[in-house]
């Protein structure tokens, strides 16, 4: 379980989050959605203590995140952050093995079990055949999948992902999110594509200007009366084989400009 209660955060005088609540129940996949600059990534970073909230409380299970040691936290929470393109001169296997670091002593080398877990993580993201390749020679999408494999190798029960479908083609966007959902871990994921959110998330938290506009079951958040004022797009909902899909079209430009000025 991951819970954020009344979380606020500011960079100097710039308020980014204001009184945000979030609850990801055990085994559920919760999506953070909202326009650019709405506070999604900032909220995610508070969940794994990369940022300390100005107010509020973050819990992993019954424990307050700030009370967990730097060694204990990665055993509980695995993170796939928005990382710059890495030029690390190491093999893909060695990159994924870094996910096993919280589980070993500083004075011990990786065990046979660690190598087996890393190999299994690479298989799950479709990169087992690239284990010996130099990480810096991979494409952006391949690197993203390797970062996800590294998170899987941690074997944490909570998984936090910041735009994990970045750089991935449409096949691997669905492939990775299908994999994440199948793990049945407590997951919070930042997504820009609302149709991916509709397909894979159990619940959504919609942010705008650092505040929660709507939260709850996916089908209750992704409705035109909620989405249209936030994204300033006309939204039509339909169902394809029982799955919610959204179709977008621009608002009349004059109306859109008038609303933006309000």
Q: How much is the pLDDT for 254?
A: 44
**Tokens standing for 179?**
């994999």
Question: Residue 16's Cα: distance from chain center in Å?
Answer: 18
Domain count, the chain: 1
Task: Give the mean pLDDT per block of 10 residues along the chain (262 residues).
Answer: 96 93 97 96 96 95 92 93 71 94 81 95 94 91 90 94 90 91 94 96 97 97 96 93 92 55 48
DSSP 89-102: -SBHHHHHHGGGGG
Q: Are 25 and 1 in contact (CB under 8 A)?
A: yes
Q: How much is the pLDDT for 48?
A: 95
Beta-carbon contacts of 36 under 8 Å, excluding residues fewer than 6 positions away, are: none
For residues 113 and 169, what is the distance between their CA atoms, to the nearest angstrom?
32
| Axis crossing angle, helix 140-153 with helix 112-124, rounded to the nearest 10 | 130
- For residue 213, the enclosing domain spans 2-261
Question: Which residue has tokens 């284990």?
Answer: 131
For residues 44 and 88, what is the distance between their CA atoms, to the nearest angstrom?
25
For residues 248 and 259, what is the distance between their CA atoms, to the nearest angstrom?
18
For residues 198 and 204, what is the distance between their CA atoms, to the nearest angstrom?
9
What's the CA angle centered on 96, arms 193 and 175, to 5 degrees? Answer: 30
Strands (E), 12-153: 14-24, 29-33, 55-60, 63-64, 77-80
Q: How much is the pLDDT for 261?
A: 47
Q: What is the CATH number of the domain that holds 147?
A: 3.40.50.300
Q: Are 152 and 124 in contact (CB under 8 A)?
A: yes
For residues 65 and 48, what is the distance between their CA atoms, to the nearest angstrom?
7
Backbone angles phi, psi at 31, to 5 degrees: -100, 135
For residues 37 and 42, what is the distance between their CA atoms, to the nearest angstrom?
9
């Amino acid at each position: 379980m991951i819970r954020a209660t009344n979380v606020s955060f500011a960079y100097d005088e710039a308020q980014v989050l204001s009184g945000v609540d979030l609850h990801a129940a055990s085994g559920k996949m919760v999506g953070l959605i909202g326009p650019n600059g709405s506070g999604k990534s900032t909220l995610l970073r508070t969940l794994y203590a990369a940022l300390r909230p100005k107010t509020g409380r973050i819990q992993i299970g019954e424990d307050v995140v700030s009370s967990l040691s730097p060694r204990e936290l990665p055993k509980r929470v695995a993170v796939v952050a928005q990382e710059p393109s890495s030029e690390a001169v190491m093999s893909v296997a060695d990159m994924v093995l870094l996910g096993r670091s919280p589980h070993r002593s500083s004075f011990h080398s990786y065990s046979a079990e660690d190598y087996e877990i890393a190999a299994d993580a690479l298989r799950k993201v479709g990169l087992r055949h690239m284990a010996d390749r130099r990480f810096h020679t991979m494409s952006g999408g391949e690197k993203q999948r390797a970062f996800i494999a590294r998170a899987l190798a941690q074997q944490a029960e909570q998984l936090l992902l910041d735009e994990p479908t970045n750089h991935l083609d449409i096949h691997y966007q669905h492939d990775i999110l299908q994999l994440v959902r199948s793990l049945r871990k407590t997951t919070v994921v930042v997504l820009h594509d609302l149709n991916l959110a509709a397909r894979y998330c159990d619940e959504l938290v919609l942010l705008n200007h650092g505040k929660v506009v709507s939260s709850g079951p996916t089908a209750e958040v992704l409705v035109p009366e909620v989405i249209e004022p936030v994204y300033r797009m006309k939204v039509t909902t339909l169902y394809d084989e029982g799955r919610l899909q959204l179709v977008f079209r621009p608002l009349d430009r004059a109306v859109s400009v008038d609303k933006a000025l309000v």
